[in-house]
Amino acid sequence: MRNRKSLFALVALVTLALFTGIIFSYGFSTGSVTLDVVKDDGKVKAKISVKKGYGVQKDGPHEISVYTIDKKYAKAKNLGEILNEKGKLVQKFESVKFSGKTAEEDKKYFSKVKPYLITLEEGIQTDNTAVVISARIYYCSFKDNFCSVESLREVLD
């Protein structure tokens, strides 16, 4: 009987750990990090903002991707799913290195991030397609002492 309870407790803990990991890895948003994109003369500025008390990891494996999708999907609430099913990956920037203001709480983090410039490939935005900037940003909370990844998407107008 005792082994059965121990096994049940172990299975419950593993299930909880997996469930929590799945939520965070699939874009559970805390709103601690945000993305705003601005287009100017074929260049895109990806502006990453971070709330007070949080920091963007300097050495995090940040990613920024550029997708195109049919414009009819651009305002969908499930944009992440649509990108996976119908989006076309046009450009991908892996291991993006940001620059910015170092956080006072910990020198391994940025409290402010300078905009990241993206040069779009010519002709990717047409009358029928929308451009979506997708980012995975690694950050930490100084107060709560946890780190996570924020999956962000912004449709370029």
Q: pLDDT tens-digit profile of 103-128?
A: 999 999 999 999 999 988 888 888 89
User: Which residues have CB under 8 Å from 25's CB, separation 6+?
Assistant: 149
Q: What is the pTM of this model?
A: 0.76
Q: Are 141 and 52 in contact (CB under 8 A)?
A: no
Q: Are 109 and 75 in contact (CB under 8 A)?
A: no
pLDDT of residue 68: 93
pLDDT digits (tens, 9 = 90+) for 25-45: 344 457 899 999 998 776 889
Nearest partner of 56 among 9, 116, 103, 119, judged by Cα:
103
Nearest partner of 149 among 59, 58, 51, 62, judged by Cα:
62
